[in-house]
Amino acid sequence: MELAFQFVGAFTILTPFVLLQRRRTTTNSWLYLSLNLAGSALLAWLALVESQWGFVLLEGVWGVAAAVGLVQRTATRVRSRATAS
């Protein structure tokens, strides 16, 4: 079962990468950032359970970067809506 979760996490991170390479998304899109956050959170959790500290660090930083991007994107949208009103 853990192997299945590893594949789901990897696929969830690789999907936005492939979409980006095919110019179907951008690095600040909701889809790109949220898929990266979900995949990295899953893989970080699995690495934590297995005490794979290098992967905890890698996926943790990846997830934090995606989360920061989502927060910044949301804040930008809120500000632009407030100034448009």
Which pair of tokens denotes residue 28?
A: 């600040």
Q: Which amino acid is at 31?
A: L
pLDDT tens readout for residues 44-58: 999 999 999 999 999
pLDDT tens readout for residues 7-60: 999 999 999 999 999 999 999 999 999 999 999 999 999 999 999 999 999 999
Alpha-helical (H) ranges within the chain are 2-21, 30-49, 53-84
Short-list 62, 61, 56, 8, CA closest to 33: 62
CA 40 to each of CA 3, 33, 48, 57, 80: distance values in angstroms, whole numbers, following the listed order: 15, 11, 12, 10, 29
CB 66 within 8 A of CB 30: no
Q: Provide the residue ranges of all domains of the chain, joining segments of one domain with +.
A: 2-84
